[in-house]
Each structure stands twice: as structure tokens, then as C-alpha cells.
Structure 1
């Protein structure tokens, strides 16, 4: 194998795989998308688009805020322990993702003037994010090692009750994304080299919602969040501490090099269709079908102001070829006297990444989530607490594209998560 072919292909694949992290608007199918934006909704399996009766409706369905009175504030945090495990088909050894603890905050404010059909709100939340880090000796070091994406949204919203029981809402999403992506360059198992890209940028999108109470016991909810494309500006860097590989083709050692770099990274649309049925005032059952348009992620190009001839090209096409996927969410809440309520929920989430373009940074697979919740609503104070358990049955990946050193993402992947969500609200 000639060194030029080895290194050029290596760079192309390493940037392509690390770029996958940026695309996860979830965290895989779940990926790096973060659908858990309120403890009450999480306790119900995120089936909340039709109910939408607290300030977190700004995220789930902005039309829902017309149900709220006066000024209301709601804050919360979603604390997640996420474990992905990889088992090598060659050695039989297993490795765990080393970035397993995350905490995602939320803030919502709504105002509904008295005797007015109009309502207003402001949300601050992170609809995408999380990070992934694998040990250096997994066997796919030149395919993927580490990636982190942070995506923050400021979301002013206005909603109107067009007629009793029928409301619409619309908002602007002002989004800021930050990425820090790293990967081995040519060394298969030793941290002797690095290729990394770090950048950030802004984009503006929108969200829409409709809530229609077609019967005293039946409510329909529809929510839509637009695509965004964040122009990431930053730098890439690379170094190699030793010549590689003897007898195959020489890649000389070189100190760290830096270049201005950037890319336009697409984030997907999201659409939710929900129906809530309340057989009595004490019960609320809801089903949501939640679609994420990951199929927007096809090929993206990383542009660099420099490179190393024969090793790192200045422009690299990133071939992702993801597929759209669904969450199917079911939730139930039982209300009691004194303001108390308990909830339970279930989610099934299908994967989005085909074997051919699979990345361990996503470790995407079909997943099941179960949750329970407890809460209390008073005249002014409200609070909710939810626990969520996630499980991904084993996925065996075969035929994934190799790096130039011959490493692939092939192997067996499992997923396990525990999460605790807490939200507190105040009406004034």
C-alpha cells in the first residue's frame, strides 16, 4: 500500500466519522437528539404534544401555552447516565463509552394576558447535544475516538386561541452550535497522532404548533420544528509523533499543525403528531408519533485553509447517508385529590444509521425507554420528578466502510441508560 493512498483515505474517513457527531440533533435515532425537555413529559414517555399544559409546551407544542394563565416560569434539569458498549468481532474484548454522565438544563417562561386570546413565551433549552469518547485500543481508533456537540436554542413564541378549544402557535428558534471532534490519524492503537476539528456557529429556524380539542375527552396536537444549517467556523489541527508504518509506507512525524476550517452542518426537522384521550378527569392517556428527518444528512464537505500534501487534503467530503426515523411514544397520567399525579410511559425508537456509514460515536440502534413520574400542582407552585430507563438490544454491524489502515466500526453494540428529570414551576 502506498503512503499517499493510505493517508489520504484515512483523512477522508476520519473526518467523515467524527462529523457524524455534529449531525445528531440525538443523540442516534436517539443519537444526540435530546427529546427530554420536561420532567412531567418524560414521566409520560414524552407523549405530551396534545396535552401541552405547562410552560414546556414551548418545546413540545407552542400552541399549548394558551391554556396557561398569567405569568408562569418553569425550570428543570435532565440528568443522564448513558452507557454504550462495543464488543470487537476480532478479539472478543468489550469497551465502554467513557463519557457517560450528562446534565441538560431547561428554562421556560409564559405570559397570557387576562381576557385575551394571545399568549407569549420564551424558552431556553438544548434540543441536541451530549458527547462520546472511546478508549484508544478499541480497534476502531482511526475510525472514531471522541466527539462533542453542544446546541443551544433561544425560542420566543406567540400563540393564539382562534376559537374555544382551537389554538395555534409559532416561534423563532435562535440556535448556537459548538463542536469539538477528534480522531486518530494513522496509528491503529496508540495515541501518537491526532486529527481534530473545533468550531461554532449560529442559525435561525422556527417552530409551529396546533392544538385542537375536538371533544371534551379528545385532543389532537401537532408540532413542527424546522431544519437548520449551522455554518461552523473554527480550526482543524493534526500531529503525528512517530513515522508510520515501517514496511508499509512512511508517514513522517510532524509537530501540531493548525488551519482555519469550517463546514455547513445540517440539523434535521422534527414533526410530532399526538392524540390525548381523557375518559374521565382523573385519567389522561396520550400517544405520539414523533419523526426526525435524519435523511437530510447525506454528504457534507469540510473546508480547510491548508493541509499536508499526501496526508490531509484541504477539502473532504463526508458521506453520511442517514435515514429518517420515528419515536413511538405512549403515556398515561392518573390525577388525585390534593394536586398529586403519577405517570408512566413507554417509547420505541428506531435507528437511523445504516451499517455502511456506521460510527461508534453514535452507536445507533433500536431502543426502548420506560419511565415513571410523580408530581404535584398547587395554586402557584408545581413540581415533577421522573425516572427513565433506556435499553438497546444488541446490534451487530457488518460491512462498514474501513479506514485506510483497515479498521472498521464492525462489531456488536449495546445501549443502556438511566436518567432522572426534575422540573419546578411557579405562577405569579
Structure 2
């Protein structure tokens, strides 16, 4: 229980604080389920079902397979983050902070999916993929240390799902998500805190734990070339406690997605699209309780003056993804795809230099090469373009203003086989 709470707390703080730029979707959501989806900006991913990875978006889509399907691969995420034109404010006045462009890093997110049809009605599947993944580290001599620091989080989703085909048109699915995570978050006080300069505000190290969520979905097929899919994911509220009794709570967003797929008759071309809602308005604040005075002396003092709780406000808003893609079936060996996504920011009135969130554009392309009739390799590439955001943060003793910008390059490779 202690480790579970610790993780949730660490994951909460860690992901909230900086997962945005590493996960490279609004908030700290990570799209890393498949290289195939990456190559089309995940347009239509809740219903296309060109390999087993579709179960991560919509469990009902497993009903579209008549053979056992296996997909495994990885996605690399390289973030390019700038924090510039920063000014650090104290009671003694304001002074500039040096620009930094080395806050981001490269991370790798693996995935594996297996779908097993039982008969023409039932199918089941298991999968594992990364749903959060970030590491951002400001240098130790960064002036506004209480706004920077270290954030490092990884989480893995282990899923078990089933589908049922009602008739030729309609299918349903449901599944459980077992989420494991590890996280570290460290923040220290800057010069504005006087004698507390350098004192730890938050110091959660190597937290880990588990949580449980679920997912539901449906597929409606007009015919073999036209179908629609809807998937819903319930995300749990993470609560964690470390070895020192420090507690933290992180509310995660529910996600709903509608997708369509249409292969144009008598052609080799298909168009597909998705609209996804992410309930980030549930993420209003992070609460830290029982902060240990030896681990987080300043945080413990701040919490003591507020009923034992140290809170960080976020007040995020619901987010949306709008994606459109196309697939060209060139010949028996090659399938080409491309897509575009517009991804809206989760941040509203409250912004942060450690979470340089903004509206983002995804420019994606990819291909499938068929090795033989039963196996293929997928490659996906996305350039993610963010916007400059003017940020202002403050604490009881200091403030910081800056301009943040986050871009990213995402590359995915995947092997799939039917049996």
C-alpha cells in the first residue's frame, strides 16, 4: 500500500509537472500504442483494426479479426523544449533568468498486443504499452529552482479485454487496465526564500505502485469498407505514499474517442478520422500531505500552515484531438499512410514553465511492408509542432514569467503477425 500511494503521488506530481512535453499530447497523455497509428496521426485508430494494437483504443474492434494477431514494437520520443525570456521575481525586485533549451530528452515506449478469436462471436486479448513517459531536468544552477527541478516518470498499462459480435453490423467490447508506474520529483527553493534557499520543497524518489481502470467500446459496420468505432477509457485517481509517509493525489482524465474508416469503392484509397475528448478538467490540483520535514523541510512548513496539505493548483480544461488521415494500398507488399492532428492544450488560466503545454499540430507519415502473407513491418514518423506560450507562475515568495515552446520528433517501428 505504501508503495502504491508513493507511486501515485509521485506519478501525480511527476506527470503533472512535466509529462506534457515528453508525452507530447496535451496534458501528460502519451500516444504510443502503435507505429501504425503514429504514421496516420492516430486518425481512425479506434476502428481501422489493421493489426492487434487497435485493442488499446477500442476493445470491440477485436471482433473484426478472424485469426490470432500479434503486434509488438516501440516508439521513440525526442522532445525539444525551450524556456526563454524568463524573469524571476522576489521581494527585492526582478532579474532575468538565462534561456535554456536542454530541458527535454529522448525516451522509448514499448508496446505489445495479442488478439485471440475464440469463435465467430467471441474474442479476447491482452496487451502492454506505455501510457505516460517523461523526463525533464533543469540544471542545478537554474535560478528559479522551485519552478524547475527534476521530473522523471514512467508508467505501463497491462490490459485484458474481450469482445462480442452481436450480428454482422454490431460488436461490443470491455476490458480492465492494470497500471504500474515509477516516478521521481524534486523541487528546491530559490533565492526568494531567503534562509530556505536550497531547501527541498518536494523530494519524492523512485516511487512505484499500481492502479486499476477500465475501458468500453463498440463498432458498427455499414459494410466491409465502411465502419465506425467508439471507445471510452475510465482513468483512476492515483493516490500514493512514499517510505516516509508523504502522500499525494493525482486525478487522471477519462477519455472518449469516435473514429470512422471508409475505403473508397473501386480504388486503393481509404480515408479515416477521429475525434477524441480528454477530461482534463478533473485535474484541478495536486495535494501533498504529511510532507516529511527531513525530506521536504520547506514543503512541510508550507503544509503546516494549511491544515497539513501543500497544494499545487493546475485548473486544467478538457482537451480535444481532431485527426484526419489517408491510407493508400499501393500493392500487395506496400501500404502508405499519412495524417494530421490538431491537439488542444489542457492548460487554461494557469500555466507552467515545467509543463510547456500548448495547442499542437501533428504531421505524420508511415508505411507497412508485407514480409509475407502472415507478417509485416510498420514504420511511423511524426513531427509535432507546438506554439510559443507566455507563462506566469507564482508562489507565496516568488514569481517567474517566461516564454515556453515544445516541439517533438516521434518515430515508431512495429512487427505484426497473424497465426
Residues 160, 343 of structure 1: CA spacing in aligned structure 2 closer, same or farther, 3 A cutoff?
same
Q: Quick check: 2:284–2:313 contact (8 Å CA) kept in 1?
A: yes
Equivalent position of 1:112 in the other structure: 117
Give the structure-1-normalised TM-score. Answer: 0.83
Q: State the Cα distance separating 1:336 from its structure 2 match.
A: 2.1
Report the alpha carbon displacement of residue 188 of structure 1 after superposing the two structures with TM. Answer: 6.1
Give the superposition deviation at 1:102.
Answer: 0.5
1:196 aligns with 2:187: no
Deviation at 1:33, TM superposition (A): 1.2
Q: Which runs of 5+ in 2 are unaligned?
A: 1-10, 88-95
Partner of residue 329 from structure 2, selected from 323, 335, 350: 335
Q: 2:394 aligns with which of 402, 407, 414?
A: 402
Is the CA contact (8 Å cut-off) linking 1:62 and 1:208 kept in structure 2? yes
Q: 2:234 aligned with 1:226, yes or no?
A: yes
Q: Secondary structure in 1 aligned to 2:52?
A: coil
Q: Mind listing any 5+ residue stretches in structure 1 that lack a counterpart?
A: 1-14, 236-258
Question: Contact between 2:315 and 2:349, CA under 8 Å: does it hold in 1?
Answer: no
Distance in 2, Cα, partners of 1:402 & 1:390: 29
Are residues 1:362 and 2:358 paired? no
Equivalent-residue separation in structure 1 for 2:140 and 2:148 (angstroms): 9
| TM-score w.r.t. length of structure 2 | 0.85
**Take 2:291 and 2:356, find their aligned partners in 1: how far apart are those partners?**
31
The alignment status of 1:173 with 2:158, answered yes or no, reads: no
Judging changes above 3 Å, is the alpha-carbon distance between structure 1 residues 303 and 19 closer, same or farther for their aligned structure 2 residues?
farther
Shift of 1:132: 1.5
The equivalences for 1:47-86 within 5 A come to 47=43, 48-86=45-83
Deviation digits for residues 263-321 of structure 1 (CA, Å, limit 9, x no counterpart): 23221111111121211352121111111111111133211264347466342123221
Q: CA shift at 1:29, angstroms?
A: 4.9
Which deviations, in whole Å up to 9, do the C-alpha atoms of 1:222-247 show, x marking residues without a partner?
11110211221214xxxxxxxxxxxx
Q: For the residues of structure 2 that align with 1:417 and 1:215, how far apart are their CA atoms?
A: 38
* Counterpart pick for 1:346 among 330, 340, 350: 340
Alignment partners' CA distance in 1, 2:211 and 2:13: 23
Q: Does 1:285 align with 2:271?
A: yes
1:133-168 CA distance string (max 9 Å, x none)? 122444431123221222211100101111113211
1:239-278 alignment to 2 at 5 Å? 259-278=244-263
Across the aligned residues of Structure 1 and Structure 2, the Cα RMSD in angstroms comes to: 2.6
Aligned to 2:42: 46
CA distance change for structure 1 residues 354 and 103 in 2, over 3 Å: closer, same or farther? same
**Structure-2 change in CA distance of 1:156 and 1:232 (3 Å):** same
Match of 2:314 among 302, 313, 320: 320
Could you tell me which residue of structure 2 aligns to residue 423 of structure 1?
414
Superimposed CA distance per residue, residues 308-356 of structure 1 (whole angstroms, 9 cap, x where no aligned partner): 4746634212322111101111111100222310000111111111343
Count of aligned positions: 386
Matched, 1:21 2:13: no
Question: Residues 192 and 263 of structure 1: is their aligned pair in 2 closer, same or farther, counting only changes over 3 Å?
Answer: closer
2:22–2:104 CA contact under 8 A, matched in 1: no
**Separation of aligned partners in 1, 2:77 and 2:12:** 27
Quick check: 1:73–1:109 contact (8 Å CA) kept in 2? yes
Distance 1:299 1:403 in 2: 14
- Residues 226 and 124 (structure 1), Cα distance of their counterparts in 2 relative to 1, 3 Å cut: same
- Are 1:88 and 1:139, in contact at CA under 8 Å, matched by a contact in 2? no
- For 1:19 and 1:335, the matched residues in 2 are separated by 39
Alignment partner of 2:129: what SS? strand
